[in-house]
Each structure stands twice: as structure tokens, then as C-alpha cells.
């Protein structure tokens, strides 16, 4: 268990918002991201470089990166990540200051075609050269296997199918690998088993997890991943999110819930949970509805006096 190396990757501005029908103004997104930066999370995914006609919520991704990459607004200790699906997206990201590129291949034929218009094999043949190009330019790269634990359209996904994609990544020299539970089908025993299998392929691999809370097992799966050696955890403010190209879009693990659970166990006490909760409240107020996150409703039982310093955004 690498609890002393836990990394929180906030994907709310991208995965949290991409299925929302009400488009969030640029200024509001900047306000929320400023709060996330102050909270002390490690990585923030500002958006995805996709076709704005298909995902209107991401139409301002280039402007967000331009803003937070400028000398006046560039965060000192926070990595800014962006999702790319193809070469054009990579070019856009290169032009506007992405620190870390996230890109991936679905283990599900149906999900892959709905999401990218390509088969998994076709997508892999494009993603690996893209990743190598970004790495050669000095950028960080994280590759993923989407629908790694099951597919809403096809049902179970074979462990060997996932490992075959992982082996291709490793053979190409890419060792920062994420497994994404796009349909929310994962359960803790499956999570531990799959991550252990990857660790056996390459002991030095950097492992990330991305769980959706479709069936209520998100936090349990995060803990299973932690036990299996995962160091980076992707989550979204308020528990928002979901892939618009899966059968049953459902929210991510809530960042506040995840951080609260880690702090209850004595980990990542440096992250300011009160600021994360403030951001989630702003998001809830904007959409005028209750968000899925639990701590936002119940309140924290972390000792704020000893574990964090309260700050207003």
C-alpha cells in the first residue's frame, strides 16, 4: 500500500461536466478551478480536446488552458491535464499549455466505436504513436484502458483483453497507466486482482484508477485499488460525471468523499477539504440541484482544527 504517495487527480471540470446539458460559462469554470487549486489537489483535468458540436461543454477547453498557463495564473504545484482522443486534439493541447496528456483505448468494441468511431485495435494504433510523440516533446502522458471492468453494452470484459492492451502500452515504453471503470461495473476483488496482474507485468508501473459510482461501489473500489498499489485516484467534485457514450452514464467518485475517507485513515491531511466542499456547493448552486456526494450533505467528521486550515475561496 503506497498511502504516503497518494495523488488526487480532480477530473470534475472535464468528466464531471461533459454530460451536463446546461453549459457552464468560462468565468464560472475558472472560479471553480481556482478553488480546486487552493484546495491542494495534485492534478486538475481542465477539459478535453473534442469536437464542440458533440460535447458543447468542452468548447472552451483551449481558453481554459490558455488562462491557467499564463504567467499570472499558472499554478505552482498543480499539474494541468487534458484528455485527447486523436491527433488533432493532441495538436490543440500542445498549442495551449497542457502539462499532462490523458488518452486511452476502450476494452469494449461497442463502447470504443460509440466513443471514438474506431475499434479498440484501431484506437490503439493511433494512441500509442500520439503518446510517444507527446513524451518526446517533454510532456507527461497517462494512458488508460476504458471499460476495463465491464461494459454497459457488452457486459463482462475479459481480464486478458485488458492485459493485452496494457502489454502494448508497456512494450511502447509507456508506464503511467490508468484503468477506467467507465460503466461502473467493478467490484473490489476484481479491482485488486487486475491491478496485481499489471504489477506482475511491470513492477515499476505507475497505476491510476478511475471509478464511476453507478452501483455504489466507488469508494470500496478505491480502497481495493490502494491496497493493490495504485497511487493516483481520479474523482470529480460533488460526484458529478459520466461518459455520454456509455449505456448508463453515472457520476464519478466524489472528490470530497474520497479525500474525507483518506483523511479519516490519516492520509493526505494537507488537502483542504473545506475548500473542496465550498467548490461543490458552488457547483450545486449553479445547477440548482443536490449533488451525489455524501460529505456535502452529511458534513465532515475530520478535525478541521488539526487537519486543515479553513480558507474562503
Active site residues: 243
Alpha-carbon distance values, 210 to 91, 253, 300 (Å) = 25, 8, 23
Q: Among candidates 186, 207, 273, which has minimal Cα distance to 237?
A: 273
Q: Which of 268, 280, 261 lies closest to 42 in space, CA to CA?
A: 268
Residue pair 209/230 in contact by the 8 Å Cβ criterion:
yes
The residue among 273, 272, 280 whose CA lies nearest residue 296 is: 280
The rounded distance, in Å, linking the Cα atoms of 186 and 151 is 10
Q: Which residues pair with 47 in a beta bridge?
A: 82
What count of residues does the chain have? Answer: 313
Give the Cα separation of 286 and 120 in Å (integer).
Answer: 37
Question: Rounded distance, CA 241 to CA 73, Å?
Answer: 26
Amino acid at each position: 500500500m503506497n498511502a504516503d504517495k497518494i495523488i488526487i487527480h480532480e477530473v470534475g471540470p472535464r468528466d464531471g461536466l461533459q454530460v451536463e446539458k446546461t453549459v457552464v460559462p468560462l468565468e464560472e469554470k475558472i472560479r471553480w478551478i481556482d478553488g480546486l487549486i487552493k484546495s491542494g489537489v495534485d492534478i486538475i483535468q481542465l477539459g478535453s480536446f473534442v469536437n464542440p458540436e458533440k460535447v458543447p461543454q468542452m468548447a472552451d477547453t483551449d481558453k481554459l488552458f490558455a488562462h491557467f498557463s499564463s504567467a499570472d495564473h499558472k499554478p505552482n504545484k498543480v499539474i494541468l491535464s487534458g484528455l485527447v482522443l486523436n491527433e488533432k486534439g493532441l495538436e490543440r493541447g500542445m498549442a495551449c499549455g497542457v502539462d499532462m496528456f490523458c488518452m486511452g483505448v476502450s476494452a469494449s468494441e461497442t463502447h470504443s466505436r460509440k466513443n471514438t468511431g474506431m475499434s479498440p485495435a484501431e484506437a490503439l494504433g493511433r494512441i500509442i504513436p500520439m503518446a510517444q510523440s507527446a513524451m518526446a516533446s517533454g510532456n507527461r502522458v497517462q494512458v488508460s484502458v476504458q471499460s476495463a471492468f465491464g461494459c454497459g453494452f457488452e457486459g463482462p470484459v475479459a481480464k486478458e483483453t485488458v492485459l493485452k492492451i496494457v502489454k502494448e502500452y508497456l512494450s511502447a515504453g509507456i508506464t503511467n497507466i490508468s484503468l477506467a471503470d467507465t460503466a461502473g461495473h467493478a467490484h473490489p476483488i476484481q479491482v485488486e486482482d487486475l491491478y496485481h496482474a499489471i504489477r506482475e507485468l511491470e513492477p515499476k508501473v505507475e497505476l491510476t484508477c478511475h471509478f464511476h459510482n453507478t452501483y455504489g461501489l466507488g469508494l470500496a473500489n478505491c480502497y481495493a485499488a490502494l491496497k493493490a498499489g495504485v497511487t493516483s485516484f481520479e474523482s470529480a467534485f460533488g460526484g458529478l460525471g459520466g461518459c455520454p457514450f456509455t449505456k448508463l452514464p453515472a457520476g464519478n467518485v466524489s472528490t470530497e468523499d474520497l479525500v474525507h475517507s483518506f483523511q479519516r485513515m490519516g492520509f493526505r491531511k494537507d488537502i483542504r477539504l473545506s475548500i473542496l466542499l465550498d467548490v461543490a456547493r458552488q457547483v450545486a448552486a449553479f445547477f440548482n440541484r443536490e449533488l451525489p456526494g455524501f460529505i456535502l450533505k452529511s458534513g465532515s467528521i475530520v478535525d478541521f482544527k488539526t487537519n486543515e486550515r479553513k480558507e474562503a475561496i
